[in-house]
Structure 1
Amino acid sequence: MSTNDIWIMVTGILVAACSGILGSFLVLRKMAMVGDAISHSVLPGIVIAFLISGSRDSLAMMLGASIVGLITVFLIQMFHQSGVQSDAAIGVVFTSLFALGVILVSMYTRNIDLDLDCVLYGEIAFVPFHDVTLFGVEMPKAVWGLAIALLLIVVLVGLFYKQFKICSFDPALAAAVGIPVVLFHYLLMGMVSLTTVASFESVGAILVVGMLVIPAATAYLLTDRLARMILYSVLVGITSVLLGYYVSYVLDASIAGCIVTVAGVLFVLAFLLSPTHGIIAKRLAQRRNAMMGSRA
């Protein structure tokens, strides 16, 4: 195994860890597709940052994308509080902002190497070729960005785990006991925005959105405890990365596509075999109840 292979897997593992933690809260809040919304709606921020800075410097583009990501979260929340269903609010905001970004790209960057592929859909296989030296250590830029994002997520969730938990399960109770529900909502959405922006340029939108949703949904089927759900979500994500990378090597196929496909297969297995929520377990329980009822 080469050094490049190791860096690719490390990047995927970092994405899985960041997404697994945040995805658990998103699934509980029924906002699983917020990551997809952010990954598309940040396009106007990227283009505007490019037009202002005049370069494709990743820091400027990340700043522009992060600002629009937070605007996306604000608009979704505003529409939802005004009576629009959450899924409809997500769809309206991300399609409108993405369309605006497409217009800006077509109007102002026709003769410049800035298109939807290069600003929105990354490729994890190219991660080892973009190194950055920080604190005297040289590592791929994506690894640095995701490692910093993971550290921030672990610190914030660790410090405010109780508040995030109560806000996710019962916002009304959280407000009644004095927890600033809106503040923690935007704090969570800000971390989702940071993770999405830090990930999609290097690893691609498909991978980061898949890791935000599928492992957490799988973990949701395996346990009823939030702490275990977060742990299982991260483990499912890491397993998907390792198995998916091996499958992509064997098939000579897209790495991100194979990782997300493996995650989907693991979800189907949990859907069928989960001891509490699985289809097979439910059928067996129904048969047992029917047999006990007939004997009675």
Structure 2
Amino acid sequence: MTPQLEIQLIASVTAAACALVGAFLVLRKTALLSDAISHAILPGIVLAFFHTENLNSPLLLVAAAVTGVLTVGAIEALGRTRLVKQDAAIALVFPALFSIGVVLISRYASGVHLDIDAVLLGDPAFSWIQRFEVGGWDLGPQSLWLMGTVLVLVAAFVGLFYKELKISTFDAALAGALGLAPAAVHYALMTLVSVVAVGAFDVVGSILVVGLMIAPPAAAWLLTDRLPVLLGLSVALGVASAVSGYWMARLFDVSIAGAMAVMAGVLFALCFAFAPHRGLVAQARRRARQRVAFAERMLLVHLLHHEHTPEADRECRVSHLQEHLHWAPALASRAVRAAERGGAVRRSGDRLALTDDGRTAAQRAMVG
């Protein structure tokens, strides 16, 4: 396997793990917690490194998970005081913890690989160098094994506790009434977020972790309301961001992590604009259809009101609609065409007349 393929595979597995766990953060509307956790776990990692002096020690994962849970607990404790809102609590807790980690690194670990740039930005280009060897056999990059294990852990957690996650995500009160322990599920999920974040540090850095946790699930939420489909789309969009970002970085000779973040943003922007039901284009079309439908009803009421009156010959003309109803020519034309297609009016030159169906529709519109 070539280094290029290994980098793409490592990034794809990392993106899949981030997107899968991030989907529940987005659905719970706690996406800011991903940013808080991915930064606030830094002092836990640093303290564990000082103790073990080994960047590959599993104790770093444990320390990060514990720090992540403590971070969430501190944020929620501040929020429960009702003296500050949750976003303010997040802004108070995670900068303080992250700053402690940065100070510890700059003061005591400036000469090791655990530096600020590596933690913030990561570099997928070097993720394949450290190898996992057993008995002299090269079994592939350590990062791939690490993130593969994390992905399996996330997938197993989602699979085993799917019902609890689903109910507590959309109705925590119902989950509590059913005895599903939503608080325990919440803290277990936050622990998993911490594990994913620290596992992805060496590969993509904490900044891209946030992007991969939030952008793909947010884009998927624009495409579907079904949870299983949303989870699958989140993973697919995360992997697409990683692979397309890698090739974009190669094409333009730029940062791989930065290119992946850009592609995650591009995919979200495309879904934001062109999602079939929630995209900006779909919303604009829906508003345009609603405007024409409302104009059509107004047209029918107008024709009914002036039907069989002395001024009918003047009022029931297309050219007069712009003057009487203050419509733009394009809107008047679209309303007339819509009424004609629906069999509500007959047109003879510039003259309009209601059909029986149109008269019934106009009367219904006036009543309703």
TM bucket normalised to smaller: over 0.9
Distance in 2 separating the partners of 1:74 and 1:134: 40
TM-score between the two structures when normalised by the length of structure 2:
0.75
| Equivalence for 2:244 | 243
User: Would the aligned equivalents of 2:212 and 2:261 in 1 still touch at CA under 8 Å?
Assistant: yes
| Equivalence for 1:12 | 11
Task: Provide closer, same or farther for how the CA distance between residues 55 and 144 of structure 1 changes in structure 2, counting only shifts above 3 A.
Answer: closer
User: Would the aligned equivalents of 2:19 and 2:212 in 1 still touch at CA under 8 Å?
Assistant: yes
Q: Which amino acid aligns with 1:102?
A: V
| Equivalence for 1:193 | 194
Task: Provide closer, same or farther for how the CA distance between residues 91 and 55 of structure 1 changes in structure 2, counting only shifts above 3 A.
Answer: same
Distance in 1 separating the partners of 2:125 and 2:173: 45
Task: Provide closer, same or farther for how the CA distance between residues 59 and 20 of structure 1 changes in structure 2, counting only shifts above 3 A.
Answer: same
Q: Please state if 1:141 is matched with 2:132.
A: no
| Equivalence for 2:63 | 64
User: Would the aligned equivalents of 1:39 and 1:120 in 2 still touch at CA under 8 Å?
Assistant: no
Distance in 2 separating the partners of 1:150 and 1:114: 23
CA apart distance, 1:224: 1.1
| Equivalence for 1:291 | 292
Task: Provide closer, same or farther for how the CA distance between residues 201 and 70 of structure 1 changes in structure 2, counting only shifts above 3 A.
Answer: farther
Distance in 2 separating the partners of 1:219 and 1:18: 15
Q: How does 1:1-296 map to 2 (within 5 A)?
A: 3-83=2-82, 84-109=84-109, 114-133=114-133, 138-296=139-297
1:204-241 Cα shifts (integer Å, max 9, x gaps)? 12322111010011001111111111111111111111
Task: Provide closer, same or farther for how the CA distance between residues 114 and 264 of structure 1 changes in structure 2, counting only shifts above 3 A.
Answer: closer
Distance in 2 separating the partners of 1:110 and 1:194: 24
Moved more, 86-95 or 176-185: 86-95
Distance in 2 separating the partners of 1:113 and 1:132: 19
Task: Provide closer, same or farther for how the CA distance between residues 81 and 225 of structure 1 changes in structure 2, counting only shifts above 3 A.
Answer: farther
CA RMSD in angstroms comes to 2.0
Task: Provide closer, same or farther for how the CA distance between residues 108 and 16 of structure 1 changes in structure 2, counting only shifts above 3 A.
Answer: closer
CA apart distance, 1:273: 0.9
Find the structure with the greater CA-based Rg. 2
CA apart distance, 1:120: 4.6
Task: Provide closer, same or farther for how the CA distance between residues 47 and 102 of structure 1 changes in structure 2, counting only shifts above 3 A.
Answer: same
CA apart distance, 1:148: 0.8
CA apart distance, 1:125: 0.6
Gaps of 5+ in 2: 298-368
Q: Which has the higher contact order (CA 8 A, sep 6+)?
A: 1
User: Would the aligned equivalents of 1:26 and 1:32 in 2 still touch at CA under 8 Å?
Assistant: yes
Task: Provide closer, same or farther for how the CA distance between residues 201 and 112 of structure 1 changes in structure 2, counting only shifts above 3 A.
Answer: closer
User: Would the aligned equivalents of 2:119 and 2:205 in 1 still touch at CA under 8 Å?
Assistant: no
User: Would the aligned equivalents of 2:66 and 2:191 in 1 still touch at CA under 8 Å?
Assistant: no
User: Would the aligned equivalents of 1:43 and 1:120 in 2 still touch at CA under 8 Å?
Assistant: no
CA apart distance, 1:112: 5.9
User: Would the aligned equivalents of 1:206 and 1:257 in 2 still touch at CA under 8 Å?
Assistant: no
User: Would the aligned equivalents of 1:45 and 1:64 in 2 still touch at CA under 8 Å?
Assistant: yes
1:130-173 Cα shifts (integer Å, max 9, x gaps)? 11236966221111111111111111111111110111111111
SS at match of 2:132: strand
Distance in 2 separating the partners of 1:121 and 1:60: 22
Moved more, 135-144 or 24-33: 135-144
1:165-219 Cα shifts (integer Å, max 9, x gaps)? 1111111111112110110001111111110010012321232211101001100
User: Would the aligned equivalents of 2:120 and 2:207 in 1 still touch at CA under 8 Å?
Assistant: no
* Identical residues among aligned pairs (%): 40
Moved more, 115-124 or 232-241: 115-124
Moved more, 128-137 or 13-22: 128-137
Task: Provide closer, same or farther for how the CA distance between residues 142 and 272 of structure 1 changes in structure 2, counting only shifts above 3 A.
Answer: same
Moved more, 68-77 or 122-131: 68-77
SS at match of 1:210: helix
CA apart distance, 1:25: 0.6
SS at match of 2:264: helix
1:34-89 Cα shifts (integer Å, max 9, x gaps)? 22212221222222223323454543433433332222222223223333422222
Distance in 2 separating the partners of 1:272 and 1:58: 44
User: Would the aligned equivalents of 2:122 and 2:257 in 1 still touch at CA under 8 Å?
Assistant: no
Distance in 2 separating the partners of 1:241 and 1:112: 28
SS at match of 1:128: coil
CA apart distance, 1:109: 3.8
Distance in 1 separating the partners of 2:210 and 2:286: 34
Distance in 2 separating the partners of 1:47 and 1:78: 25
Moved more, 70-79 or 91-100: 70-79
| Equivalence for 2:311 | none
